[in-house]
């Protein structure tokens, strides 16, 4: 007989061992027979569940806590599960993966409810198990929420700010203790890191701050992101030296490419300089992304996308950047692959590359700005900064959606938020829905036709000098924080010359790339076919997301482009496989 659950096989599951034979037969008649290979996922967190009994093999229940996957429970032959979400009416609270080849009986939700309604013996047993398992999940979540690092430093110190932002964006649980704040010092005493509050003045003198204390007492003075990433278990080194596709940048475009690449079975490596999420990772609320009527934070989007990519088997390298690309000629029969050179001169070969490096904030050219950047002046805004704005006078330069979203976020904490806009109104640069939301906030003011001429302060930002109105009258305003959102630029000067860019550095693809090659002396598109829509002027190198000339700078379009780029990578790989096999056979 093929794949079929029988009453006899159910009798080997203790839960079903003592129920009448006809009940077992009725369950068997409604059950699916699920076979899993080693490492195959039976179920993902958040998915609709069924009721399962393990007939052969071994499974692990895995939960993502604080961005890290933890194995919470193991199921052996004869165990059952699925009752917790089914009885709570919730989606799966954990994912389940096969640790070895396994065979699982699966009942649909309706059949499970029918079963416990009609079979009292099973009902009592299942409820007891459920109570035990909920307790275990609770324990692990509480235990995993304990900080894996305590950062001690001064809140206003740029190095401390950057380290906190790095940990927050990578979803590492950490505690922060500010030496300029009595509460921070009291916590250090409470945690046993200081004997008494008066010790605070001397205990850390002579050390390079921020100081990071790890569980077990290990101390790191002003560690680099890479050092910290290694310690908290983020991947920083590639596992192989050759890939099908290397994706540069871990924003929405790069993450989408990683999910699609790995899910199509390509050997996929994503390299990200700081933390997954890119610009979107810093957004407090993305409200226009399809399928999320209540909006979702950039953090949520990136943590879920990262999990999804890892689940499909992509490698995600964090705190690493791509320093250069050395071009190969993989389209030729005996050609060599492209080489991607990471910082530290780590070299990897790959058949295809997706450039998804997005854009970086444009610098504000104004007097005093470099000295005070990180000391009250900040480019972009991280959600982690919101709490630090309690009771402060915040100024925001820029009139786009990101500036508006930052104003909305800070309005819940700051005493006042003033948006400084160069143009005559917000309407030309900001979406209507963001303008309407700002109008509901009593502590947000929008000033148009204003330009920041200078930023002032001894140790940190204290005041702004503004040119106001058509007369450009000079005014001095007290300010505790200035967030700059004045548009972005593509930093692509490190790419090889052969990858055509427009004069602002955006990478040209498809028809644009071919036309540019045609215009330049001595260059031409080398293949018989035209470049694919997202292919650059070098075959096999693609660009997706904000870095691409002509892109629509939105999360949804970046996700779409990242996924499309992989479809083109596959066509390209099929072409080169054909060329190679033709050369071999002829």
Ligand X SMILES: Cc1cc2nc3c(=O)[nH]c(=O)nc-3n(C[C@H](O)[C@H](O)[C@H](O)COP(=O)(O)OP(=O)(O)OC[C@H]3O[C@@H](n4cnc5c(N)ncnc54)[C@H](O)[C@@H]3O)c2cc1C
The residues of the shown chain that bind ligand X, judged by CB under 6 A, are 248-254, 271-274, 278-280, 282-283, 286-288, 321-322, 356-359, 380, 401-402, 405, 545-547, 553-556, 558
Q: How far is the CB of 555 from ligand X (least distance, A)?
A: 4
CA distance 510 to 567: 14
Tell me whether residue 106 or residue 319 sits nearer to ligand X (CB atom).
319
Crossing angle between the packed helical segments 109-118 and 21-30, to the nearest 10 degrees: 170
Q: How far is the CB of 542 from ligand X (least distance, A)?
A: 12
> Among 312, 311, 288, which residue's Cα sits nearest to residue 404?
288
Q: How far is the CB of 237 from ligand X (least distance, A)?
A: 15
Tell me whether residue 253 or residue 266 sits nearer to ligand X (CB atom).
253
Tell me whether residue 155 or residue 553 sits nearer to ligand X (CB atom).
553
**Stretch (H or E) spanning 165:** helix 158-169
Contact 423, 449 (CB under 8 A): yes
Q: How far is the CB of 317 from ligand X (least distance, A)?
A: 9
Q: How far is the CB of 559 from ligand X (least distance, A)?
A: 8
> Among 508, 511, 517, 563, which residue's Cα sits nearest to residue 541?
508
Q: Which two tokens stand for residue 102?
A: 């396994």
Q: What is the per-residue DSSP string for 503-534?
A: TTSPBP-HHHHHHHHHHSTT----SSSPPPTT
Cα→Cα distances 422→296, 428, 465, 476, Å: 30, 12, 14, 17
Q: How far is the CB of 422 from ligand X (least distance, A)?
A: 18
Beta-bridge partner residues of 34:
104
Q: How far is the CB of 128 from ligand X (least distance, A)?
A: 47
Tell me whether residue 320 or residue 351 sits nearer to ligand X (CB atom).
320
Give the strand order in the sheet containing 68-75.
41-43, 95-98, 59-65, 68-75
Q: How far is the CB of 508 from ligand X (least distance, A)?
A: 15
Q: How far is the CB of 102 from ligand X (least distance, A)?
A: 37
Phi, psi torsion values for 187, nearest 5 degrees: -65, -40
Q: How many CB atoms lie within 10 A of CB 321?
A: 16
Determine the distance from the C-alpha atom of residue 322 to the mean position of all C-alpha atoms in its chain, rounded to a whole number.
18
Q: How far is the CB of 536 from ligand X (least distance, A)?
A: 15
Tell me whether residue 107 or residue 286 sits nearer to ligand X (CB atom).
286
Tell me whether residue 250 or residue 368 sits nearer to ligand X (CB atom).
250
Q: How many CB atoms lie within 10 A of CB 248?
A: 25
Tell me whether residue 223 or residue 358 sits nearer to ligand X (CB atom).
358
Cα→Cα distances 233→90, 167, 317, 451, 509, Å: 30, 12, 11, 45, 37
Give the CA count within 13 Å in the CB-facing half-sphere of 65.
20
- Exposed, middle or buried, 167 (CB in 10 Å: 0-12/13-18/19+)? buried
Cα→Cα distances 523→472, 500, 514, 520, Å: 49, 11, 10, 6
Cis amide leading into 210 (omega within 30): yes
DSSP 357: -
Q: Which two tokens stand for residue 482?
A: 């200035």
Tell me whether residue 30 or residue 273 sits nearer to ligand X (CB atom).
273
Tell me whether residue 356 or residue 541 sits nearer to ligand X (CB atom).
356
Tell me whether residue 154 or residue 554 sits nearer to ligand X (CB atom).
554
Q: What is the per-residue DSSP string for 97-153?
A: EESSSEEEEEE-HHHHHHHHHH-HHHHHHHHHHHHHHHHHHHHHHHHHTS-SEEEEE
Q: How many CB atoms lie within 10 A of CB 496?
A: 12
Q: How far is the CB of 320 from ligand X (least distance, A)?
A: 7
Tell me whether residue 203 or residue 316 sits nearer to ligand X (CB atom).
316
Tell me whether residue 105 or residue 426 sits nearer to ligand X (CB atom).
426
Q: How far is the CB of 552 from ligand X (least distance, A)?
A: 8
Q: Which residue is nearest to ligand X (CB)?
A: 358
């Amino acid at each position: 007989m093929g794949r079929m659950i029988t009453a006899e096989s159910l009798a080997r599951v203790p839960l079903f061992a003592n129920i009448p034979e006809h009940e077992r037969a009725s369950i068997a008649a409604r059950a699916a027979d699920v076979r899993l290979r080693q490492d195959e996922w039976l179920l993902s967190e958040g998915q609709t569940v069924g009721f399962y009994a393990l007939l052969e093999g071994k499974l692990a229940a895995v939960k993502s806590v604080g961005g890290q996957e933890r194995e919470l429970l193991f199921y052996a032959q004869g165990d059952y599960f699925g009752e917790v979400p089914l009885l709570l009416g919730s989606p799966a609270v954990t994912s389940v993966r096969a640790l070895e080849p396994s065979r699982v009986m699966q009942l649909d939700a309706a059949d499970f409810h029918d079963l416990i309604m009609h079979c009292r013996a099973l009902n009592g047993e299942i409820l007891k198990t459920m109570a035990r398992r909920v307790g275990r999940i609770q324990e692990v979540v509480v235990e995993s929420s304990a900080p894996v690092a305590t950062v001690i430093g001064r809140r206003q110190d740029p190095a401390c700010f950057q380290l906190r932002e790095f940990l927050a964006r990578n979803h590492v649980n950490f505690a922060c203790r500010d030496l300029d704040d009595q509460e921070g010092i009291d916590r250090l005493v409470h945690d046993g890191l200081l004997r008494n509050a008066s010790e605070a003045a001397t205990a850390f003198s002579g050390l390079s701050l921020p100081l990071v204390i790890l569980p077990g007492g290990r101390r790191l003075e002003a560690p680099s992101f890479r050092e910290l990433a290694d310690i908290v278990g983020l991947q920083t080194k590639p596992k192989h030296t050759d890939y099908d596709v290397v994706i540069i940048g871990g924003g929405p475009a790069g993450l989408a490419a990683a999910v699609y690449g790995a899910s199509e079975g390509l050997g996929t490596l994503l390299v990200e300089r700081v933390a997954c999420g890119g610009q979107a990772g810093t957004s407090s609320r993305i409200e226009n992304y399809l399928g999320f009527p209540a909006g979702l934070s950039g953090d949520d989007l990136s943590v879920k996308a990262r999990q999804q990519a890892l689940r499909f088997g992509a490698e995600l390298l964090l705190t690493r950047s791509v320093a250069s690309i050395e071009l190969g000629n993989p389209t030729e029969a005996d050609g060599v692959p492209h080489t991607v050179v990471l910082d530290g001169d780590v070299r990897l070969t790959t058949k295809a590359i997706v450039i998804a490096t997005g854009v970086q904030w444009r610098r504000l050219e104004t007097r005093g700005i470099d000295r005070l950047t990180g000391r009250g002046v900040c480019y972009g805004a991280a959600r982690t900064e919101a709490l630090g704005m309690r009771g402060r006078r915040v100024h925001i330069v820029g009139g786009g959606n990101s500036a508006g979203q930052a104003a909305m976020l800070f309005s819940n904490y700051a005493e006042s938020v003033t948006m400084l806009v160069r143009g005559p109104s917000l309407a030309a640069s900001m979406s209507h829905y963001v303008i309407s939301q700002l109008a509901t906030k009593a502590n947000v003011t929008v000033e148009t036709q204003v330009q920041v001429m200078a930023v002032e302060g001894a140790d940190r930002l204290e005041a702004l000098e503004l040119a106001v109105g058509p007369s450009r009258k000079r005014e001095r305003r007290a300010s505790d924080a200035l967030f700059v959102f004045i548009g972005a630029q593509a930093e692509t000067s490190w790419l090889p010359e052969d990858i055509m860019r427009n004069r602002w550095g955006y990478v040209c693809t498809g028809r644009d790339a071919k036309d540019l090659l045609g215009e330049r002396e001595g260059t031409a598109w080398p293949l018989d076919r035209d470049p694919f829509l997202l292919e650059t002027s070098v075959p096999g190198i693609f660009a997706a997301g904000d870095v691409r000339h002509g892109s629509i700078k939105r999360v949804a379009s970046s996700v779409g482009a990242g996924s499309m780029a992989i479809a083109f990578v596959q066509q390209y790989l099929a072409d080169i496989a054909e060329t190679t096999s033709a050369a071999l056979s002829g």
